[in-house]
Amino acid sequence: MKDGNDCNGVPVTEIKHERSEMSKKPEIQEDVWIRTQCARCYADCAIRVRRVNGVAVKIEGEPDSDMGSRGGLCAKGLAALQVLYDPNRLKVPLRRTNPEKGLYVDPGWKEISWEEALTEIADKMKKVLDDDPRKLQMQYTTSRAGQNGTLFAFKRLFGDVKEQRYFGGHAGPYFSAGGGGLFCGQGAHEIGGLIWASWSIVPEFERCNYAMFFGSNKGTGSGHSSNMCMRRAAQARVRGMKTVVFDPQCNFNSGKADEWVPLIPGTDLAAALAMCNVIVNELGIWDEVFLKTKTNSTYLIKSDGRYVRDEKTDKPLVWDNSQGEAVVYDAKSIPDYATACTIDYALEGEFEVNGVKCQPAFQLLKEHLKQYTPEMASEISTIPADTIRRLATEFAQAAQVGSTVTIDGHQLPFRPASAIVFRGGQGHENSYHTCYAVALLNLIVGSCDVPGGTVGWPARGLGYPDTGKLELPLEMGKDGLLEFHHFGASGPIIKRDGPWPVHMPENHHHLTMTDIFSMALQTFVPTAEDREELWAKNQVDYRIEMLVSWGCNTIMSLANPQVAEEAYKEIPFTVVFELFSSELAEGFADILLPDTCFLEESNFAESIGCNFNYPYGMEDWYFHIMQPVVEPQYSRRNIAVVMWEVAKRMGLTERLYDTLNTVYNIADEYKIEPGEDLTTELVCDRVVKTLFGPEHDWDWFKEHGFVSWPKKVEEAYWRYFVDCRVPIYSEFLLDIRDKMEEITKEIGIDVDLNQYTPLTSWFPCTIHAEDIPEYDLYCYSYRDTLHTGSHTMEQPWLDEASLMNPYTYNITMNRDTAKSKGINDGDVIEVESPMGYKVSGTVKTMEGQHPLTMGMAACSGHWGKGMPIAHGKGTNFNTLLSFNLQKVDPIVLTPENCVRVKVRKVERS
């Protein structure tokens, strides 16, 4: 019997058993541990996998890395073994033989050769791209987020795309499909980028004493850095951090909270604004140093809402109290906290500059907030006014404005209070303003990227010490605001623009309409109810002719399937790369290709989510790689390799090599030369050598799994080390509004431009304003900790847990509400939206559910044949949603994730 070695070279001995049949044990020829990364959600946790006799038998969290739980791993990650060995996985390329497409249509799959598939894809794609690259749509999901780079390379490879921007545009073939469905963090990412230079935000759990969450499960097994957050939040709870969670349901984060604050979906904005008002106008608490030096609070605003600008430099002016005159915002350089403390620009008052009357932005904000009384917010949200007032007070006091802490010789503000919003809070027609209002809570008390406060996934990096690579610079951009170019997953390598400076709306008649909605990450238009109307009005003279979909089941996760059905049917040629025959594939794919699973892939990209998943706060920098634990079986192929082959067949060989070198910023000495045998390992090797030097080649990484280096205070708590500001006043929205007004008038579409206002304001959603009393409940979907997107219900271990859980597969209702309707646990109900969309499911009543709401776990209700374990489990919430221009946030295009419904008990069929 041979023993293997683990990744440290430490021998791993065979498993011993308590039973007496040791003699019957198989001969162990191989027993090794392989370090890699998980990809069952977008958290990219570091893992190690044990392989015995060629079979992956065990996964655990990597104990030696902060990028995860330091040894622990959630059930979704553990269940990856059942993805790898699922007999339902696609094995060979398949072609649809049934010419009919549609939701429940049998595709009549027939096996074809790779040769046949590649030839047809290359031919079709060449025709489409020669005609108009906009006719190609490519989509993927964030559980393939590390492969973001791969997809971005496709965008450059196949499209006419020079720009590297996240927001707006989308002229070429590109359409990311979003993690948890329904455009996951649309508004949250925009505000995350604008205020924190980060994809998302989190309390710095090590020092935070008071964390307030609005519809976010960070710390309880969902979201970015899922396992890392679980580890750090748990420690914080034991340390005594108080957690307050605004959520219609007392389940995940709310279930762990010290205080659960139930509310009506989409009213988080009202509550957050009222708390801002209490803090500023009732308590008179704000962080003067922060507001004066780190925000545009001091910028002088004219009566037209615009900045007062310096005539010569066009820079916004501030009022310098010490000089008694207006100066440009950067008249004094503010390189550190000590200097910041000496700045005395006016936050309040009224001034006259060059004959123009003006006020500092903060003065306007302070006045503006007065209308949002706790009483008003209470009426909207149902949260008692006293509770709002008390929580605002607790939050503001917990922030300890004025206190400091010294870390590694740097004296910094200590602000141990944090307010966080994510998918639940932001999934509404007021997404942008909701995220902004929560950001304001942090901005007012100065708890941004300082010890104890709200931090981004590390936005600032000084680079890997030996090479200086992976530097993540932050700079003072236009009007003194925070600018950076490493946004989102793969940002550090691919260099993508952050939200500032914002793009102005333009109309190029794209069917995505993200040229017009220039602050949107993704678009609802291609699968909307009113798509033809919008396209007709906007004179969109082309349609999607080819869809390449990768690992995402958008018919379930991103749209109302009944509405999207026609849209997908209209696409003449659809290619799907998948692990399983998904609902999207069964209904609409012409060619279905067997993708590799992450345990069969080489990839550096899973690690490059700086704004995504690198350890935040003072935990060190880590860079992990993904490597195959087993070789792909049958004729499964990795999408990158397949698409490279397609490119070659399209005559794009030269462009392919150039694209890879450019997109991955490969150093000159490691450039991939035409003629070299292109493999994922080769690309990975060149990238890691570029970043970490020649001694850290791919073989080194395969052996060690990751590299780490210490983080500095200037990186973890960068706010006072970077002389730049963030907006509390969105002056830019005025310019965008003017342009939007022009465009929307011209094409005759109705967009609520009132939301394009510089001061964060309460905007009700359609669900709040509709006068339809018989639709008496607010129905919404939520992320269950056991599931990511729509694949995880296929893994039997997760299915067993979901069946054991009282809520996962059921529709949750408040117990008294259910009782008043004669509904009990286990009853089957039909849920109907005002548009007549209907779904049914089994009820589980809860005390921990707001009486006016009901919840369903997202992305459930599989109907396809390709995932038999998932089939029929749960209820598909999205089927209830209306998907049109009036049901999205008019700034960032977040679809409304909640719908008014009525319910009735039906007989179990």
Partner 1 sequence: MTRWGMVIDLRKCVGCYACMVSCKQDHFLPPNIFWNRLVVGETGKYPTVTKQLYPVLCNHCDEAACVKACPTGATSKREDGLVSINYDECVGCRYCLIACPYQQRTYYSNGKKEYFPGQGLTELELIGQELYPLQPGTVVKCNFCMERIDQGLAKGLIPGADREATPVCVNACPPKARTFGDLDDPDSEISTLIKHRKGQQLHTEYGTDPSVYYIIR
CB of 143 to partner 1, least distance (A): 17
List 4, 72, 764, 834, residue binding partner 1 (CB under 8 A) = 72
Coil, helix or strand for 145?
helix
Interaction between residue 21 and partner 1 (CB under 8 A): yes
Coil, helix or strand for 78?
helix
Determine the Cα–Cα distance for residues 100 and 98; give it in Å rounded to an integer: 5
Number of H helices, E strands in the chain: 29, 36
Determine the Cα–Cα distance for residues 804 and 159; give it in Å rounded to an integer: 47
Determine the Cα–Cα distance for residues 841 and 825; give it in Å rounded to an integer: 11
Nearer to partner 1, 378 or 518 (CB): 378
Interaction between residue 796 and partner 1 (CB under 8 A): yes
Under DSSP, the state recorded for 280 is I
Nearer to partner 1, 85 or 863 (CB): 85
CB of 649 to partner 1, least distance (A): 34
Return the residue matching tokens 């995505």.
Answer: 512
CB of 844 to partner 1, least distance (A): 11
Return the residue matching tokens 């209470």.
Answer: 378
Interaction between residue 846 and partner 1 (CB under 8 A): yes
Q: What values do phi and psi take at 359, rounded to 5?
A: -135, 150
Torsion sign, CA atoms 240, 265, 393, 293:
positive
Do residues 328 and 310 make contact, with C-beta atoms less than 8 angstroms apart? yes
Interaction between residue 187 and partner 1 (CB under 8 A): no
List Cα–Cα distances, 238 to 67, 80, 96, 451, in angstroms: 21, 30, 55, 19
List 81, 567, 765, 818, residue binding partner 1 (CB under 8 A) = 81
Residues 412-441 that bind partner 1 (CB under 8 A): none
Do residues 41 and 604 make contact, with C-beta atoms less than 8 angstroms apart? no
Interaction between residue 26 and partner 1 (CB under 8 A): yes
Interaction between residue 36 and partner 1 (CB under 8 A): no
Interaction between residue 848 and partner 1 (CB under 8 A): yes
Nearer to partner 1, 8 or 98 (CB): 8
Helix (H) or strand (E) holding 542: none
CB of 227 to partner 1, least distance (A): 5
Determine the Cα–Cα distance for residues 688 and 684; give it in Å rounded to an integer: 6
List Cα–Cα distances, 193 to 519, 611, 741, in angstroms: 11, 9, 25
Residues 52-71 that bind partner 1 (CB under 8 A): 52-53, 55-61, 63, 68-71
- Judged by CB under 8 A, the number of residues near partner 1 is 79
Interaction between residue 868 and partner 1 (CB under 8 A): yes
Determine the Cα–Cα distance for residues 803 and 797; give it in Å rounded to an integer: 10
Q: How far apart are the first and last CA of the chain?
A: 56
CB of 806 to partner 1, least distance (A): 6
Nearer to partner 1, 217 or 627 (CB): 217
Give the x-and-dash track for 732-771 against partner 1 (CB under 8 A). Answer: ----------------------------------------
Query: Radius of gyration (Cα) for the chain, nearest Å?
Result: 27
List 221, 425, 452, 499, residue binding partner 1 (CB under 8 A) = 221
CB under 8 A: which stretch of 141-149, 226-234, 464-472, 520-528 binds partner 1? 226-234
Residues 294-353 that bind partner 1 (CB under 8 A): none
Planar angle of CA 71, 75, 79, nearest 5 degrees: 105
CB under 8 A: which stretch of 16-24, 191-199, 499-507, 735-743 binds partner 1? 16-24
Interaction between residue 798 and partner 1 (CB under 8 A): yes
Nearer to partner 1, 807 or 837 (CB): 807
Q: Which residues of 486-522 are buried (b: 16+ CB within 10 A; e: fewer)?
A: bbbbbbbbbebbbbbebbebebeebbbbbbbbbbbbb
Interaction between residue 82 and partner 1 (CB under 8 A): yes
Name residues whose C-beta falls within 8 Å of residue 558's C-beta, 6 or more positions apart in sequence.
Answer: 177, 178, 181, 182, 183, 527, 552, 564, 878
Nearer to partner 1, 195 or 228 (CB): 228
Interaction between residue 79 and partner 1 (CB under 8 A): yes
Interaction between residue 379 and partner 1 (CB under 8 A): no
* Identity at 120, one-letter amino acid code: E
Interaction between residue 465 and partner 1 (CB under 8 A): no
CB of 767 to partner 1, least distance (A): 21
Coil, helix or strand for 644?
helix
Coil, helix or strand for 397?
helix
Residues 693-712 that bind partner 1 (CB under 8 A): none
Do residues 59 and 49 make contact, with C-beta atoms less than 8 angstroms apart? yes
Nearer to partner 1, 155 or 423 (CB): 423
Q: How is residue 144 written in tokens? A: 């393939």
Nearer to partner 1, 597 or 786 (CB): 786
Nearer to partner 1, 562 or 814 (CB): 814
Give the x-and-dash track for 86-125 against partner 1 (CB under 8 A). Answer: xxx-------------------------------------
Interaction between residue 678 and partner 1 (CB under 8 A): no
Determine the Cα–Cα distance for residues 223 and 232; give it in Å rounded to an integer: 14
List 806, 819, 826, 906, residue binding partner 1 (CB under 8 A) = 806
Nearer to partner 1, 79 or 334 (CB): 79
Nearer to partner 1, 15 or 504 (CB): 15
Torsion sign, CA atoms 465, 469, 474, 477:
positive
Interaction between residue 391 and partner 1 (CB under 8 A): no
Nearer to partner 1, 28 or 734 (CB): 28
Interaction between residue 4 and partner 1 (CB under 8 A): no
Q: How is residue 632 written in tokens? A: 């792909």
Do residues 298 and 291 make contact, with C-beta atoms less than 8 angstroms apart? yes
List Cα–Cα distances, 516 to 505, 523, 739, 793, in angstroms: 4, 11, 9, 37
Interaction between residue 492 and partner 1 (CB under 8 A): no
CB under 8 A: which stretch of 166-174, 575-583, 685-693, 841-849 binds partner 1? 841-849
CB of 19 to partner 1, least distance (A): 5
Determine the Cα–Cα distance for residues 654 and 822; give it in Å rounded to an integer: 68
Question: How many Cβ atoms sit within 10 Å of the Cβ of residue 865?
Answer: 16
Interaction between residue 25 and partner 1 (CB under 8 A): yes
CB of 594 to partner 1, least distance (A): 17
Nearer to partner 1, 183 or 706 (CB): 706
Determine the Cα–Cα distance for residues 492 and 510; give it in Å rounded to an integer: 29
Determine the Cα–Cα distance for residues 56 and 37; give it in Å rounded to an integer: 14
List 311, 631, 771, 847, residue binding partner 1 (CB under 8 A) = 847
Interaction between residue 801 and partner 1 (CB under 8 A): yes
Interaction between residue 814 and partner 1 (CB under 8 A): yes
CB of 428 to partner 1, least distance (A): 22
Helices (H), ranges, 348-499? 361-369, 374-381, 385-398, 423-426, 431-445, 491-494
Interaction between residue 393 and partner 1 (CB under 8 A): no
Nearer to partner 1, 247 or 545 (CB): 247
Give the x-and-dash track for 232-271 against partner 1 (CB under 8 A). Answer: -xxx-xx-----------xxx-xxx---x-x---------
Do residues 605 and 639 make contact, with C-beta atoms less than 8 angstroms apart? no
Nearer to partner 1, 49 or 289 (CB): 49
Question: How many Cβ atoms sit within 10 Å of the Cβ of residue 259?
Answer: 15
Interaction between residue 776 and partner 1 (CB under 8 A): no
Interaction between residue 208 and partner 1 (CB under 8 A): no
